[in-house]
Amino acid sequence: MEFMRISGIFAFMKKLVIVGCGQLAGIVSDAIVSGILPDYDLVGVYSRTTAKAERLAGKMDQHGKVCKVCTSMEELLALKPDYLVEAASPAAMKEFALPALKNGTSVVTLSIGALADEKFREEVISTAKANNTRVHIVSGATGGFDVLRTAFLMGNATATFFNEKSPYALRGTPVYENSLLTEKKVVFTGNAKEAIDLFPTRVNVAVAASLASVGPEKMQFAMQSTPGFVGDTQRVEIKNDQVHAVVDVYSATPAIAGWSVVNTLLNITSPLVF
C-alpha cells in the first residue's frame, strides 16, 4: 500500500488490479484518471485478450500512472493489491477469488453468478474470514440491496425477479429461436440458481438480489424476450407481512454495471457510505 501527501496529511493509497479489461473495466480506469477514485492506484490488469489489457494499461500510462500488463494470476497477485476488481466472467471469479483472498486481497465482483454455487460460496466465505478479506457484491444493473436485505431479515419474505431482454441478447443461449424476433415470449421461469446455470453471464444481477434476500434457490425468476426492445429491465420484488418493495431498473447499456463498481470502491474508502 502506497501513500500520498495531501495538505500535510498522509493518506494511504489502495492498490487496485482488474481482471477482465472490457468496457466495464474501462469505466473504472476512467474514474481513477479523472479523480473520481482518488484513493486508488491501478497497478495491474489481466485479460485473456492481451491487447485489451495493453489498451487499458496504455490509457493509464498516458496519464502518468504506471500499470502493469500481467499474463498470469500469479503475476497479478504478486503486485500485492488491496483490491481486485473482477469484470470478466463467473469462470474467472471462480479462478481468481480464492487465491486473491488468500493473498490478502479483497475482491469486488460483477460475476455474482459464481456465488450461486453453494460449495464455492462457502469456500469464499471461510477463506475471506481466515484472511481478513472481503468479497464486495456490486449492484450491477439492479439495486435496492439494503431494502431487500432489511425485508428479508424481518422474516417471512418471498421474492421474485423479472428480466426483459432483446431477442438478440439471447443469441447463443439454449432458449433462442428465430420466432423471438417477432414474438414476445417468456423464455424461462424457475429460480435464480437454475437461471444462472442456463445463462452463465446474463443474469448475475438476479443472483446478487437473491443473495441479498431469500437465496438463489428461493428467488423466483422469469425472463421475457421482447422484439424491438433495447437494453435490459430488471425488476425485483420482495414481500413480507409488513413490507412490499419493488425495485425496477431499466438500463439502455451495460454501463451502469461499471459505475456500480465505482460506487462500491467509493464506499470502501468514504466516511459516508451509501
- The domain ranges of the chain are 14-137, 145-253
Cβ–Cβ under 8 Å, residues 247 and 143 = yes
Query: Minimal CA–CA distance to 84: which of 135, 31, 122?
Result: 135
Distance between CA 49 and CA 77 in Å, rounded?
Answer: 18
257 in a known ligand binding site = no
Distance between CA 14 and CA 107 in Å, rounded?
Answer: 13
pLDDT in tens, 20-33: 999 999 999 999 99
* Weakly modelled stretches of the chain, pLDDT under 70: 1-11
Going by CATH, does the domain composed of 14-137 fall within 3.40.50.720? yes
- Single pTM value for the model: 0.92
Cβ–Cβ under 8 Å, residues 71 and 47 = no
Q: Report pLDDT for 194.
A: 97
Q: Report pLDDT for 12.
A: 79
Residue type at position 130: A
Query: Minimal CA–CA distance to 257: which of 115, 145, 136, 110?
Result: 110
CATH number of 145-253: 3.30.360.10
Cell of 54: 495493453
Distances in Å between the Cα of 213 and the Cα atoms of 95, 160, 207, 260 are: 26, 10, 10, 19
Kindly give the residue spans of alpha helices, DSSP state H, lying in the chain. 23-33, 50-62, 73-77, 90-102, 118-130, 145-153, 192-198, 204-211, 255-269
H or E segment at 244?
strand 244-251
100 in a known ligand binding site = no
